[in-house]
Amino acid sequence: MEHLRITVAGKVYDVIVEKFDSDETDHHPAPTPIVRASAPAAAAPRIAASTPAPAAAKPAAIGDTTSPLAGLVQAINAEVGATVNEGDTVITLEAMKMYTSITATTTGTVKAIHVKVGDAVDEGQALFTIG
């Protein structure tokens, strides 16, 4: 038996080494050291450039129909000056791949449309006015 002092990475180890005859050896694989990798740095969030900026939100006034949710204007089905009936679809919004019909809440004439196709709108934003 032999006593040895070994230094590994600055740390000192006292070990005892035992010698065997060649037929007495017991072959065990060396233990695999555990290497802990540091966590990767979090990447900065990316903002999709293809999404248009929200249209300037127009405050709702009497006669305005507002957006019930944030989304993109997919279609405008009426023009300024057109007569619409209660329940007619005036604008179609898309949010999370779902389409929502925005309908006239009253019968009347479309006085103004405050958005255009492709605009991003916020919840509560005025979309059109019926008078």
Helix (H, G, I), strand (E, B) or coil at 118: coil
Residue 88 near residue 104 (C-beta atoms within 8 A): yes
**CATH class of the domain comprising 64-130:** mainly beta
Query: Counting beta carbons within 10 angstroms of the beta carbon of residue 48, is it exposed (0 to 12), middle (13 to 18) or buried (19 or more)?
Result: exposed
Q: Tell me the C-alpha distance between 47 and 4, whole Å.
A: 60
- % of the chain surpassing 70 pLDDT: 71
Between these two residues, 50 and 131, which has the higher pLDDT value? Answer: 131
Radius of gyration, CA atoms only, the chain: 36
Tell me the average pLDDT of the chain.
Answer: 82
pLDDT digits (tens, 9 = 90+) for 29-54: 777 776 666 666 666 666 665 555 55
Distances (CA, A) of 128 to 29, 60, 90, 100: 77, 9, 8, 15
Residue 102 near residue 65 (C-beta atoms within 8 A): yes
User: Is 60 a residue whose pLDDT tops 70?
Assistant: no
Between these two residues, 46 and 115, which has the higher pLDDT value? Answer: 115
Average pLDDT of the residues in 57-81: 85
pLDDT band at 63 (very low <50, low <70, confident <90, very high): confident
